[in-house]
Amino acid sequence: MKTALLLVLAGVAALAALPFLLSQGLLNAAIQMLIAALFASAYNLLCGQAGMLSFGHAAYFGVGAFGTVHAMNAIGGAGLLPTPLMPLAGAACGLVFGGIAGWFATKRTGTYFAMITLAIAELVHSLAPHLKGLFGGEAGVSTMRMPAWGLDFGSTTQVYYLTLCWVLLSVGLLYLFTRTPMGRLAYGLRENSHRLRFLGYNVHGLGMGVFAISAMFSGIAGGLQVVSNESANYVVFDPALSAAVVLNTYIGGVKVFLGPAFGAALMTFFGYAVSDLTQSWLLYQGILFVLVMMFMPSGLAGLIGMAGQLRQRIGIARLMPLLLLSIAAAVLLSMGGAFAVEMLQRIFSQDYRAMAKLAAGGAWPPVTLLARAWSPTAVATWAVPVALIGAGALLAWIGQRQLKQATERAGGAA
Amino acid sequence: MNDPILSIRGLRKSFGPTEIMRGVDLDLLGTERHALIGPNGAGKSTLFHLISGHLAPSAGTVRFDGHSIGGRTPQAINRLGLARSFQITNIFPKLTVFENIRLAVMRPHGLAYAFWKFIDSDRRVREETCRLLELVRLTSRAGAIAGEMAYSEQRSLEIAMTLASDPKVILLDEPMAGMSNEETHYTAELILEVTKGRALMLVEHDMDVVFSLSDRISVLVYGQVIATGTPDEIRANASVKEAYLGEEVAA
């Protein structure tokens, strides 16, 4: 408990120090990471804690975003609230809309619940382009951050601190919520809503309440994005955003409170860092999700927990080489995989097909990757990913064997 | 005090053309322990489902403590003061034993949907949870994951959760299933102890328990009550022997 508190404090201190360490571009990425982390945490209240898998959470993020943008533009641009409090407008809109949508969605459970959330999100998504007055059409609605409380909110640093405060406050509240009677009931809802009914609880009202609270925090995340971007566009209702929050949450790990936030921050960072380098970012995201689901259903946070358990069982001295081995294996495997994907992506791209047609005799021209030209027909080219993947697989195999030996020895000693 | 607290008249339930309950009349007195016995498929569990709101009756009335409860929701019936356990263990399997009981204790303490205070800081809820743990001898298992416990321990947990709301009427559906002799004995004592001053309706296959525990016994056969009486009367009843006990003796 004490170490957890220290870790959290250290994390907060590190986050507070970021503006002194990062460039403007990276600081902007950090803002997006924080917002994604809050969105995933809000989503996980519904999905991980209360066991309701929503496929349309972009709707509440988007409603929060538009609520905030209109609040900022209200009263002739002066704003309904001082700028630092603007996300409250997003929270209110998320809460109200989430309450209404939740009333319908939580009438059913499981697959039917998921389908209703999907339908509601699609409804908003297809309606938004037609309501130009509310959602601004293709241009969206733009706004300005007004100075307030002696701050002008003109610099990225100030926006970063504003976002950080809201995200820390919201995630903190979400954590405290798990300790309240209603938060405990959310677990009961996930485990056995049938039994809750026979203990005298109104399960529909409870589900609706949890849904609305999750939507409220999603609305705050949407509001923060508007404060940061100074605009809102109906693109926020895109199903891709609903999908991303599901993927991020599961990649991070639904069982651990900070897992989804961690997953979302990581994936947002990768998206930022990698999307300029590759056109296959969505493919990598998908592959990563499938791998996580197949090999570590408890997510990246679960992986850390597993390492902790292993350390207790076989000791840090035996764990360290294993850990290094598995990291090396993972790096080699992903390098090999990425090389193969990038080569194939380039070969199958339209530009390249056109070029190959023009080339004399139908010979395939070389492909540039990592500042080097590779001939697609040369064996050496394909030997690179094969060798990388082979070496990675070998390391993984050795690691697995050593792990087995180590746990057997620990088991024998115990 | 010994007016009926629960009174069932002409209760029928059909699933399509199949009639499961064919006109049940039954009274549960305010402080009696009343067992319901009958061969498999007689409709004992269905009767519990109809009383507790799990199923809505096709016809007939169920009156509980002055309210007509036929067809009401389970939560409404539970709040009036009727709690039940389930034949197939019905707990929160991935939560701890403590958490399971605490969830059951919270509502009667008016903490159903509170999100403005912490559950850990509520002394009454904690004390009541600990008292119930002690009562069903699960104190040492408080931190265990409920779904990973032995079956008999899960049955004890069910009883504790049923008692949590301090109900006027308790329906226990095979509370001793899967318990050892010693556990059965302890649980029978426990049931005797905790049902003082309230009414109990019990479905149980262990006839020793049924006959030693009950003030009255009703025999349910093919959706109808064929006899109600004291244990001695039931033992002596010819049609009961034929329909139910006779089969057991012959087998």
Residue A174 C-alpha, separation from nearest chain B C-alpha, in angstroms:
11
Sort out which chain A residues have CB atoms less than 8 A from B79's CB and list them: 200
Residue B182's CB is within 10 A of a number of other CB atoms, namely: 9
Can you list the alpha helix ranges (DSSP code H) found in A143-252? Answer: 156-177, 181-198, 203-229, 239-252
What domain range is A383 assigned to?
A: 315-413
User: Which stretches of chain A sit within 8 Å of chain B by CB?
Assistant: 176-177, 179-185, 187-188, 191-192, 194-203, 205-206, 209, 213
A380 class by beta-carbon count within 10 Å (0-12 exposed, 13-18 middle, 19+ buried) = exposed
Residue B251 C-alpha, separation from nearest chain A C-alpha, in angstroms:
37
Residue B46 phi/psi, 5-degree rounding, is -60, -40
Higher pLDDT, A394 or A373: A394
Residue A309 lies in a domain: no
Average pLDDT over residues A242-260: 88
Sort out which chain A residues have CB atoms less than 8 A from B107's CB and list them: 199-201
Whether residues A224 and A140 share a domain: the answer is: yes
Those residues of chain B that have pLDDT short of 70 are 1-2, 244-251
Predicted confidence at residue B251, as pLDDT, reads: 40
Sort out which chain B residues have CB atoms less than 8 A from A175's CB and list them: none
Partner-chain residue, chosen from A191, A196, A199, that has the shortest CB–CB distance to B165 = A199
Q: Which residue of chain A has the CA closest to B158?
A: A195
Are the C-beta atoms of A226 and A69 separated by less than 8 Å? yes
Predicted confidence at residue A72, as pLDDT, reads: 86
Residue A244 phi/psi, 5-degree rounding, is -60, -40
Confidence of residue A378 (pLDDT cuts 50, 70, 90): confident
**Can you name the residues that pair with A151 across neighbouring β-strands?**
A148
Whether residues A370 and A229 share a domain: the answer is: no
Residue B183's CB is within 10 A of a number of other CB atoms, namely: 17
Chosen from B45, B77, B92 to mutate, greatest number of chain A CBs within 10 A: B92
Alpha-carbon separation of residue A403 from A171, A332, B40, B203 (angstroms): 36, 19, 52, 51
**Can you name the residues that pair with B4 across neighbouring β-strands?**
B29
Whether residues A329 and A292 share a domain: the answer is: no
Whether residues A159 and A257 share a domain: the answer is: yes
**Can you name the residues that pair with B145 across neighbouring β-strands?**
B96
Residue A305 lies in a domain: no
With 0.90 as the threshold, say if the pTM is over it.
Answer: no
Per residue in B163-214, pLDDT (tens digit) is: 888 888 999 988 888 888 888 888 888 888 888 888 999 998 888 888 888 8
Predicted confidence at residue B250, as pLDDT, reads: 44
Give the A:B interface size as CB pairs under 8 Å.
Answer: 97
Whether residues A55 and A113 share a domain: the answer is: yes
Calpha distance A201→A32 (Å, rounded): 39
A199 class by beta-carbon count within 10 Å (0-12 exposed, 13-18 middle, 19+ buried) = buried
Residue A407 lies in a domain: yes
Last residue of a domain, one of A297, A325, A354: A297
Residue A4 lies in a domain: no
* A121's tokens: 């999100």
Sort out which chain A residues have CB atoms less than 8 A from B84's CB and list them: 198
Calpha distance B48→B35 (Å, rounded): 12
Residue A70 C-alpha, separation from nearest chain B C-alpha, in angstroms:
30
* A207's tokens: 């589900």
Predicted confidence at residue A368, as pLDDT, reads: 75
Last residue of a domain, one of A239, A263, A297: A297
Are the C-beta atoms of A167 and A37 separated by less than 8 Å? yes
Predicted confidence at residue A414, as pLDDT, reads: 47
Q: Which residue of chain A has the CA closest to B161?
A: A199
Alpha-carbon separation of residue B124 from A372, B82, B92, B104, B119 (angstroms): 72, 22, 22, 13, 10
Calpha distance B214→B216 (Å, rounded): 5
Residue with tokens 């598995």: A326
Q: Which residue of chain A has the CA closest to B113?
A: A182
Predicted confidence at residue A315, as pLDDT, reads: 77
Of chain A, the percentage scoring pLDDT greater than 90 comes to 26
Calpha distance A231→A184 (Å, rounded): 38
Average pLDDT over residues A354-380: 75
Whether residues A154 and A249 share a domain: the answer is: yes
Sort out which chain B residues have CB atoms less than 8 A from A179's CB and list them: 118-120
Q: Is B4-90+166-250 a domain of CATH 3.40.50.2020?
A: no
Whether residues A247 and A332 share a domain: the answer is: no
User: In whole angstroms, what separates CA B34 from the centre of its chain?
Assistant: 11
Last residue of a domain, one of A247, A270, A297: A297
SS3 call for B29: strand
Whole-number average pLDDT of chain A: 86
Per residue in A119-178, pLDDT (tens digit) is: 999 999 999 888 888 888 788 888 888 787 877 787 888 889 999 999 999 999 999 999
Per residue in B48-68, pLDDT (tens digit) is: 999 998 988 888 888 888 888
SS3 call for A329: helix
**What value of ipTM does the predicted structure carry?**
0.82
Calpha distance A105→A59 (Å, rounded): 13
Alpha-carbon separation of residue A333 from A38, A297, A339, A371, B154 (angstroms): 31, 20, 10, 21, 46
Are the C-beta atoms of A329 and A392 separated by less than 8 Å? yes
Q: Which residue of chain B has the CA closest to A176?
A: B118
Domain tally, chain A: 2
